[in-house]
Amino acid sequence: YAGPNGWYNFGEVRAELANPAKTRYDFKGGFRLITHTFTAVSESNNLHVLTLDFESDTVTPGVYEASAKGDAGAKKVQVSFGDVSGKKIRNWTSAAKSGTVTVSVVNGFTYFKLRGVTLEPNGLHNTGDLKHPMTVGFEGAVSPQ
Protein backbone atom coordinates (compact mmCIF):
# COMPACT_ATOMS: atom_id res chain seq x y z
CA TYR A 1 0.00 0.00 0.00
CA ALA A 2 1.21 3.50 -0.77
CA GLY A 3 -0.19 6.93 -0.15
CA PRO A 4 -0.21 10.23 1.60
CA ASN A 5 0.79 8.64 4.91
CA GLY A 6 4.39 9.46 4.02
CA TRP A 7 5.05 6.27 2.06
CA TYR A 8 4.66 7.65 -1.43
CA ASN A 9 6.76 7.31 -4.58
CA PHE A 10 6.86 3.64 -3.66
CA GLY A 11 4.91 0.60 -4.73
CA GLU A 12 4.57 -3.08 -4.00
CA VAL A 13 4.86 -5.80 -6.65
CA ARG A 14 3.66 -9.38 -6.29
CA ALA A 15 4.11 -11.73 -9.21
CA GLU A 16 4.04 -15.46 -9.80
CA LEU A 17 5.00 -17.59 -12.77
CA ALA A 18 2.73 -20.36 -14.00
CA ASN A 19 5.61 -22.83 -13.86
CA PRO A 20 5.70 -25.99 -11.72
CA ALA A 21 7.88 -24.26 -9.08
CA LYS A 22 5.45 -21.28 -8.89
CA THR A 23 8.44 -18.89 -8.97
CA ARG A 24 7.55 -15.68 -7.08
CA TYR A 25 8.74 -12.11 -7.21
CA ASP A 26 7.68 -9.92 -4.28
CA PHE A 27 9.19 -6.54 -3.57
CA LYS A 28 8.60 -3.00 -2.44
CA GLY A 29 10.44 -0.46 -4.47
CA GLY A 30 10.83 3.11 -5.55
CA PHE A 31 8.12 4.23 -7.99
CA ARG A 32 8.66 7.15 -10.36
CA LEU A 33 7.76 8.55 -13.75
CA ILE A 34 10.65 8.15 -16.19
CA THR A 35 9.87 9.36 -19.74
CA HIS A 36 6.28 8.15 -20.33
CA THR A 37 6.83 5.12 -18.12
CA PHE A 38 5.90 4.71 -14.47
CA THR A 39 8.63 2.47 -13.09
CA ALA A 40 8.91 0.48 -9.84
CA VAL A 41 12.42 -0.76 -9.03
CA SER A 42 13.32 -3.25 -6.30
CA GLU A 43 15.09 -1.46 -3.44
CA SER A 44 16.96 -4.54 -2.32
CA ASN A 45 18.81 -5.34 -5.54
CA ASN A 46 17.71 -2.99 -8.36
CA LEU A 47 17.50 -6.04 -10.61
CA HIS A 48 13.70 -6.36 -10.75
CA VAL A 49 11.65 -3.71 -12.54
CA LEU A 50 7.92 -3.29 -13.19
CA THR A 51 6.88 -0.71 -15.78
CA LEU A 52 3.55 0.83 -16.74
CA ASP A 53 3.93 2.51 -20.14
CA PHE A 54 1.07 4.82 -21.10
CA GLU A 55 3.07 6.55 -23.90
CA SER A 56 2.34 9.78 -22.02
CA ASP A 57 3.66 11.58 -18.97
CA THR A 58 0.13 12.44 -17.87
CA VAL A 59 -2.64 9.96 -17.17
CA THR A 60 -6.20 10.65 -16.13
CA PRO A 61 -8.16 8.64 -13.59
CA GLY A 62 -9.89 5.61 -15.02
CA VAL A 63 -9.48 1.99 -15.96
CA TYR A 64 -6.85 1.20 -18.58
CA GLU A 65 -6.66 -2.05 -20.54
CA ALA A 66 -3.34 -3.88 -20.30
CA SER A 67 -2.18 -4.13 -23.88
CA ALA A 68 0.83 -4.79 -26.12
CA LYS A 69 1.32 -1.02 -26.54
CA GLY A 70 0.46 1.93 -24.33
CA ASP A 71 -1.90 4.70 -25.49
CA ALA A 72 -3.24 6.96 -22.72
CA GLY A 73 -5.85 8.50 -25.05
CA ALA A 74 -7.28 5.06 -25.88
CA LYS A 75 -7.06 3.98 -22.19
CA LYS A 76 -4.37 1.36 -22.88
CA VAL A 77 -1.18 0.62 -20.97
CA GLN A 78 1.69 -1.76 -21.58
CA VAL A 79 2.68 -3.60 -18.40
CA SER A 80 6.06 -5.31 -18.25
CA PHE A 81 8.26 -6.98 -15.68
CA GLY A 82 12.00 -7.51 -16.01
CA ASP A 83 14.47 -9.60 -14.05
CA VAL A 84 18.12 -8.96 -14.92
CA SER A 85 19.71 -10.92 -12.09
CA GLY A 86 22.54 -13.34 -12.86
CA LYS A 87 23.58 -11.23 -15.88
CA LYS A 88 20.60 -12.58 -17.82
CA ILE A 89 17.67 -10.62 -19.24
CA ARG A 90 14.29 -12.17 -18.49
CA ASN A 91 11.21 -10.17 -19.39
CA TRP A 92 7.43 -10.55 -19.44
CA THR A 93 5.04 -8.15 -21.23
CA SER A 94 1.29 -7.70 -21.45
CA ALA A 95 -0.65 -8.60 -24.58
CA ALA A 96 -4.05 -7.26 -25.65
CA LYS A 97 -6.82 -7.71 -23.09
CA SER A 98 -4.57 -9.29 -20.45
CA GLY A 99 -6.06 -7.37 -17.53
CA THR A 100 -6.71 -3.85 -16.28
CA VAL A 101 -4.87 -1.08 -14.44
CA THR A 102 -6.88 1.36 -12.33
CA VAL A 103 -5.60 4.91 -11.99
CA SER A 104 -7.09 7.25 -9.41
CA VAL A 105 -6.19 10.57 -7.80
CA VAL A 106 -6.68 11.13 -4.08
CA ASN A 107 -5.44 14.30 -2.33
CA GLY A 108 -3.26 15.00 -5.37
CA PHE A 109 -1.54 11.60 -5.27
CA THR A 110 -1.82 9.44 -8.39
CA TYR A 111 -2.52 5.82 -7.42
CA PHE A 112 -1.98 2.81 -9.65
CA LYS A 113 -3.52 -0.55 -8.87
CA LEU A 114 -3.57 -3.79 -10.82
CA ARG A 115 -4.40 -7.34 -9.88
CA GLY A 116 -4.07 -10.54 -11.88
CA VAL A 117 -2.63 -9.03 -15.06
CA THR A 118 -1.15 -11.77 -17.26
CA LEU A 119 2.26 -11.16 -18.82
CA GLU A 120 3.82 -13.28 -21.56
CA PRO A 121 7.54 -14.23 -21.56
CA ASN A 122 9.62 -12.43 -24.18
CA GLY A 123 13.12 -11.97 -22.74
CA LEU A 124 16.32 -13.23 -24.29
CA HIS A 125 16.87 -15.66 -21.40
CA ASN A 126 13.27 -16.73 -20.73
CA THR A 127 14.03 -20.43 -21.04
CA GLY A 128 13.05 -23.58 -19.18
CA ASP A 129 11.03 -22.82 -16.06
CA LEU A 130 11.03 -19.08 -16.88
CA LYS A 131 9.28 -19.52 -20.24
CA HIS A 132 5.84 -19.47 -18.63
CA PRO A 133 3.28 -16.66 -18.28
CA MET A 134 3.40 -14.45 -15.20
CA THR A 135 0.50 -13.09 -13.17
CA VAL A 136 1.34 -9.74 -11.59
CA GLY A 137 -0.25 -7.41 -9.07
CA PHE A 138 0.87 -3.92 -8.07
CA GLU A 139 -0.18 -0.98 -5.93
CA GLY A 140 1.71 2.28 -5.73
CA ALA A 141 1.41 6.04 -5.64
CA VAL A 142 3.24 9.00 -7.11
CA SER A 143 3.30 12.28 -5.18
CA PRO A 144 1.96 15.47 -6.71
CA GLN A 145 4.45 17.46 -8.76
**pLDDT by residue, tens only, the chain of 145 residues:** 445 455 678 889 999 999 999 999 999 889 999 888 999 999 877 799 999 999 998 899 999 999 999 999 999 999 999 999 888 899 999 999 999 999 999 888 899 999 999 999 998 889 888 999 999 999 998 887 6
Q: Which residues lie across from 137 on neighbouring strands?
A: 14
Distance, CA of 60 to CA of 75 (rounded, Å): 9
Per-residue model confidence (pLDDT) at position 108: 83
Per-position DSSP letters for 30-68, written without gaps between them? EEEEETTEEEEEETTTS-EEEEEE-SSS---SEEEEE-S
Count CB neighbours of 20 within 10 A.
Answer: 8
**DSSP for residue 20:** T
For the chain, the maximum distance between any two Cα atoms, rounded to a whole number of angstroms, is 45
Per-residue model confidence (pLDDT) at position 145: 67
Per-residue model confidence (pLDDT) at position 2: 45
Distance, CA of 131 to CA of 144 (rounded, Å): 38
Instruction: Collapse the DSSP code of 122 into the 3-class scheme (helix H, G, I; strand E, B; otherwise coil) and give the result.
Output: coil
Per-residue model confidence (pLDDT) at position 69: 96
Distance, CA of 21 to CA of 137 (rounded, Å): 19
Distance, CA of 99 to CA of 117 (rounded, Å): 5
Is the whole model's pTM more than 0.75, yes or no? yes
